[in-house]
Amino acid sequence: MSKVFEVGKLSVTVVEAPESSSPPKPLLISTPTEAGEYPVVVFFHGFCLTNSCYSAILQHVASHGYIAVAPQLYSFTDDLISNLFSANEEIESAFAVLNWLSQGLQSSLPNNVQANLPKLAIAGHSRGGRAAFYIALHNGQTSVKFSLLMGIDPVAGGSKENQLKPPILTYKPSSFDIGGIPVLVVGSGLGEQQKNFLFPACAPKDVNHKEFYNECQAPRFHMVATEYGHMDMLDDKIPTLVAKLASCACKNGKEKEPMRKFVGGIMVAFLEAYLKDERGDLEAIIADPSIAPVELNPVEYDEK
């Protein structure tokens, strides 16, 4: 197994930055404690979920030498219903956090840790992955520029005919023009399947990872964990009732730990390849997908 799938050598601390004028939304920041300058990854949570649902993945990434910033884009008491059919508010919140980074992030970090914002990545899960893609397609609206994009089982809506507003998918191959930024799309093999007749699939056909990858331009990478579901990368302990209900609505694999290791590890491999020009782990996984802690099929990419 590649070392990226194991916890890194750096110790990590988690900083909670409450909502105020700075930052514009509550943040969980997973950061190395060792003195140094580290690239930054901004991670957007999925619908009905909290940023703390991804603590294990974010701390995994941080332990390999990255500052992982996870905003809570909306609250469950005030904003959940208004965000049900439209993603406008969460996208505005995501833009606000990105625009805050250059002025506010450094003051939220340990004194000996420096944020390397010229090496910035954005990522997200489910609707958060969709938000990351939307931002990539409108990068001119941010005061910071990012170097790569990662969608973790991104979902654009309930169906091809019922995309979230504003719509993002065009159903035209290679139609996403994001300026040549490398893109990683992770998929779940069970995401298209209904858990039971009461709940629709959590990552429905035509609005999931397959179509996102199809519309990406090179360099693009697509890896699907065949035996795992849409919520299997979350922590075992889910902090809110709403998030627990959302997690229970999705078809799941046998256990979450292998999926968490895979998602954290492939994120690290992709970051290493394109932010540090250290491609060994990513190339090893592509050459032999069996080294991953989950079964991967397909593993496809296009770098030209």
**What is the pLDDT, as a whole number, of residue 120?**
98
Query: In degrees rounded to 5, what are phi and psi of residue 53?
Result: -65, -20
Active-site residue 222, yes or no?
no
DSSP 8-state secondary structure symbol assigned to residue 99:
H
**Residue 86 has what pLDDT?**
62
Least confident of 15-19, 144-148, 188-192, 297-301: 15-19
Above 80 in pLDDT, residue 211? yes
Instruction: Specify the pLDDT at position 4.
Output: 98
SS3 state at 17: strand
pTM of the full structure: 0.95
Is 177 among the catalytic positions? no
What are the residue ranges spanned by the domains of the chain?
3-302
State the pLDDT at residue 220.
98
The per-residue pLDDT for 83 is 57
Peptide bond connecting 298 to the previous residue in cis, omega within 30 degrees of 0: yes
Task: State the amino acid at position 171 in one-letter form.
Answer: Y
pLDDT at residue 19, rounded to an integer: 74
Of 158-167, 219-228, 233-242, give the range with the top mean pLDDT.
219-228
Q: At residue 21, does pLDDT exceed 80?
A: no
Query: Stretch 147-172: mean pLDDT, rounded?
Result: 94
Catalytic residue among 64, 93, 230, 247: 230
Alpha helices in the chain, H assignment, sequence order: 55-63, 88-104, 127-137, 209-215, 241-248, 257-275, 280-287
126 a catalytic residue: yes
Q: Is the pLDDT of residue 84 over 60?
A: no
> In this structure, are residues 285 and 291 in contact, taking their beta carbons and an 8 Å threshold?
yes
Region 25-40: mean pLDDT is: 97
Mean pLDDT, rounded, for 62-89 = 78
Give pLDDT, residue 219: 98
Predicted pLDDT at 179: 93
Instruction: Name the amino acid, one letter, at 110.
Output: P
Closest CA to 206 of 254, 151, 258, 168: 168
Q: How far apart are the C-alpha atoms of 44 and 84, rounded to whole Å?
A: 16
pLDDT, mean of residues 224-238: 95
Is the peptide bond preceding residue 32 cis, with omega within 30 degrees of 0? no
| Res. 132: pLDDT tops 70 | yes
Determine the pLDDT at residue 81. 56
Looking at 63, 153, 222, 247, which residue is catalytic?
Answer: 153
Q: Please state the CATH superfamily assignment of the domain spanning residues 3-302 in this structure.
A: Alpha/Beta hydrolase fold, catalytic domain (3.40.50.1820)
User: What gap in Å lies between CA 199 and CA 186, rounded to an integer?
Assistant: 23
Q: Which residues pair with 124 in a beta bridge?
A: 44, 151
Q: What is the DSSP string of 32-66?
A: E-SSEEEEEEEEEPPTT--GGGGHHHHHHHHHTT-
Is the CB of residue 62 less than 8 Å from the CB of residue 30?
A: yes
